[in-house]
Amino acid sequence: ATATADAPVRVNQLGYLPDGPKRATVVSSTTAPLPWQLHDSSGTVVASGATTVRGADQASGQSTHQVDFGAYTGTGTGFTLVVGGQASHPFDISASLYDGLRTDSMSFFYQQRSGIAIDAALTGAAYARPAGHLGVAPNKGDTNVPCQAGGCDYRLDVRGGWYDAGDQGKYVVNGGISAWEIVNSFERARRSGAEAALGDSTLRVPERGNGIPDVLDEARWELEFLLRMQVPAGKPMAGMAFHKMHDAEWTALPTRPDLDDKQREVHPPSTAATLNLAATAAQCARVYAPYDAAFSARCLDSARRAWAAAKAHPDVLAPATDNTGGGAYEDADVSDEFYWAAAELLATTGESQYRDAVTASPHHTKPADGFWWGGTATLGRITLATVPGVNLPADDLTRVRGLLTSAADGYLCTMAGQGYAVPIPATGYVWGSNSAVTNNAMVLAVAYELTGQQRYRAGALESLDYLLGRNALDLSYVTGYGERSSENQHHRFWAHQNDASLPHPPAGSFAGGPNAGLEDPVAKAKLPGCAPAACYVDDIGSYSTNEVAINWNASLAWLAAFAAERRGT
Ligand code: 9MR
């Protein structure tokens, strides 16, 4: 049996953990179970059984069967699963399966850095590039940037940070959730005693060897940018955060960052951005305290000022129309950002003013909704539920934990109802759907931490199976991981598809994923009539299905670090 380019046996193409779930999906309209065999690399059948018929799957539009080979406990490389004479792509079964992805998905952020040369010694020559946006010609920014007309009458130094995605804008709301996820990944790993894997000299970053965990070095590059985006004291709306900064017009594809000659502009402050700053700076104050007391204090001061400014200006909303040259990141409801910021400030300071804001928020008792850049309440819930010693009554903390495990139970139920065990419903294939999968999988992982119940860990791991090839397209959405993986994500420098002298995205780059909305010209042309989970094309022009973005990679990196942890079970 051989794998075809579109094998009907869909596996996690990277593989499976010896102590994790091992399931696959078979595309077949046969209504009777089919025999399956697991072959090792020498072709020997090491396990066999019969499929479970699952029938029509709404998200993929396919008829499916399920294979469960979880009883097999061997390890090795080059396994294949064979059904009806068709073999899956080869895969491994190994405890170290996710070690590489943990590093690569986290190293993505160094390569997205603005304001620093990307060093060939760290990335390989193909990915090296000069520093972008330091005001060196032809760049006009980001060291002396005018506020957009009407915003303010002074200039700012807002260098640094990460480019958001395939574009080179820098947006506080998306920077906030991304930095939070990276820092939270470390905070979580420290609670489980596994922070060494994210420690110093674990990443390909220039700060390796400085005695500080590399994950925190990387997140600090963004945090320093977020701090710079705060309106200075003495200016109108002091303490608020500017919503975003980006080019005055969209740049062409490709445009290497240092070759961008467009005017960079800071856009007016927003309450949402201000609360993203308050939340991430409060988290920063807590998590960096053991490593750099001065930075921790700077973060806390900024967080307090941001919180006060947001309370004074609670409804300054970024408009959806402000999308020339960069994304709008509009948000009409900032109640969830208030809750998240209050939760972070409470967890860091224990102060009653923040506790009162938490307990008065409608989000404190609502079911835990899925989080994303525009909906951040569950980030606050995760912090309240997991950080030791939060100053809330014990029964209240128990209740918040229960909201998270209930949400996790909901995701398990959603997964169980589908041919491809995805923790989003058939209606959930929107722009960046892959990050809805990783974000929901994070909640499953948190539920595992809170309860120790294996079904939650299994759900988190099975979500990775979907992303790494067990899906409607038989494709891994992570560059370099799996036999068939995305490699033409929308990006202005990793634009090999448009210019052969430029590289593909580096290993560990995560595509946005299927988007039934078909919101770009390439998707409209190539994907008419697609089933939701098949509305994806690995084409650089399809920014609505195939962009990379810091909020998506941050969530993947969080999940990869969770999956890579050895649990000795
Ligand atoms: O992730 C964002 C998605 O939720 C929105 O629907 C979409 C359109 O507004 O924008 C996405 O964010 C993009 C941002 O606007 C600009 N940089 C690239 C981001 C990822 O595609």
In a domain, 176, yes or no: yes
Report the phi/psi class of residue 78: left, alpha or beta, with left for phi > 0 and alpha for psi in -120 to 50.
left
136/190 same-domain check: yes
129/247 same-domain check: yes
Q: What is the rounded CA–CA span in Å between residue 386 and residue 397?
A: 9
Q: Which atom of ligand 1 is nearest to the CA of 552?
A: 1
- To test the ligand 1 pocket, which listed residue (247, 547, 552) has its Cβ within 8 A of the most ligand atoms? 547
Q: What is the rounded CA–CA span in Å between residue 272 and residue 355?
A: 20
Q: What is the rounded CA–CA span in Å between residue 198 and residue 375?
A: 27
Q: Containing domain of residue 64, as a range? A: 9-93
In a domain, 493, yes or no: no
**Is the Cα torsion angle 139, 141, 142, 144 positive or negative in sign?**
positive
- Backbone dihedral angles phi then psi of residue 501, each to the nearest 5 degrees: -80, -10
466 pLDDT above the threshold of 80: yes
Ligand 1: which residue has its CA nearest to atom 1? 432
Q: What are the tens digits of pLDDT across the range 535-562?
A: 999 999 999 999 999 999 999 999 999 9
320 pLDDT above the threshold of 60: yes
Under the banding of pLDDT at 50, 70 and 90, the label for residue 108 is: very high
> How far apart, in Å, are the Cα atoms of 229 and each of 341, 418, 456?
17, 43, 38
- String of DSSP letters for 491-522: -SSS-TTT-TTSPPPPTT-B-----TT--SHH
| Bridge partner residues of 532 (DSSP) | none
4 pLDDT above the threshold of 90: no
Please compute the mean of the pLDDT values over residues 222-250 and round it to a whole number: 96
Contact 494, 502 (CB under 8 A): yes
Q: Which atom of ligand 1 is nearest to the CA of 549?
A: 20
How far, in Å, is the centroid of ligand 1 from the Cα of 327? 6
Burial of 367 (0-12, 13-18, 19+ CB in 10 A): exposed
Domain with residue 28: its CATH number is 2.60.40.10
Instruction: Note the residue count of the chain.
Output: 569
Cβ within 8 Å of residue 233, ≥6 positions away: 239
How far, in Å, is the centroid of ligand 1 from the Cα of 322? 13
pLDDT averaged over the chain?
96
User: Strand pairing of 23-27 and 145-146?
Assistant: unpaired
Which residue type does 492 have?
Answer: R
Question: What are the tokens at 128?
Answer: 């090296």
292/146 same-domain check: yes
Indicate the range of 231-235, 467-471, 487-491, 508-512 predicted with least confidence. Answer: 231-235
Domain end residue (candidates: 309, 333, 357)? 333
C-alpha dihedral over 375, 376, 379, 381, to 10 degrees? Answer: -90
Q: What are the tens digits of pLDDT across the range 336-393?
A: 999 999 999 999 999 999 999 999 999 999 999 999 999 999 999 999 999 999 999 9
pLDDT score at 568: 64
88/116 same-domain check: no
pLDDT above 90 as % of the chain? 96
Please compute the mean of the pLDDT values over residues 58-78 and round it to a whole number: 97
Question: What are the tokens at 118?
Answer: 């990307």
2 pLDDT above the threshold of 60: no
Residue in the structure block whose two tokens are 């080979």: 69
Contact 169, 160 (CB under 8 A): no
Q: What is the rounded CA–CA span in Å between residue 12 and residue 104?
A: 18
**Element spanning 111, H or E:** helix 99-111
pLDDT score at 141: 83
115/88 same-domain check: no
7 pLDDT above the threshold of 80: no
Contact 38, 49 (CB under 8 A): no
Contact 197, 102 (CB under 8 A): yes
Contact 339, 269 (CB under 8 A): no
pLDDT score at 6: 46
Q: What is the rounded CA–CA span in Å between residue 35 and residue 160?
A: 56
Ligand 1: which residue has its CA nearest to atom 14? 327
Structural domains of the chain, count: 2
pLDDT score at 5: 40
121/44 same-domain check: no
Q: What is the rounded CA–CA span in Å between residue 325 and residue 250?
A: 4
- To test the ligand 1 pocket, which listed residue (173, 321, 431) has its Cβ within 8 A of the most ligand atoms? 431
In a domain, 516, yes or no: no
How far, in Å, is the centroid of ligand 1 from the Cα of 434? 13
pTM for the model = 0.98
394 pLDDT above the threshold of 80: yes
Q: What is the rounded CA–CA span in Å between residue 478 and residue 484?
A: 9
Please compute the mean of the pLDDT values over residues 208-229 and round it to a whole number: 98
50/144 same-domain check: no
304/185 same-domain check: yes
Question: Would you name the residues annotated as active-site residues?
Answer: 490, 538, 547
pLDDT score at 151: 62
**Element spanning 48, H or E:** strand 45-50
Contact 340, 279 (CB under 8 A): yes
Report cis status (omega within 30 of 0) of the bond before 521: no
Please compute the mean of the pLDDT values over residues 10-35 and round it to a whole number: 96
75/124 same-domain check: no
pLDDT above 70 as % of the chain? 98
In a domain, 457, yes or no: no
- Backbone dihedral angles phi then psi of residue 91, each to the nearest 5 degrees: -150, 165
pLDDT score at 153: 82
- String of DSSP letters for 322-353: --SSS-----S--HHHHHHHHHHHHHHH--HH
- 3-state DSSP: the chain helix, strand, coil percent, rounded to 5? 40, 15, 45
469 pLDDT above the threshold of 70: yes
In a domain, 35, yes or no: yes
148 pLDDT above the threshold of 90: no
123/89 same-domain check: no
Question: Of 286, 122, 302, nearest to 216 (Cα)?
Answer: 286
In a domain, 529, yes or no: no
Q: What are the tens digits of pLDDT across the range 439-462?
A: 999 999 999 999 999 999 999 999
Q: Which atom of ligand 1 is nearest to the CA of 551?
A: 1
Ligand 1: which residue has its CA nearest to atom 6? 431
ipTM over 0.85: yes
Cβ within 8 Å of residue 444, ≥6 positions away: 408, 411, 412, 423, 456, 457, 459, 460, 463
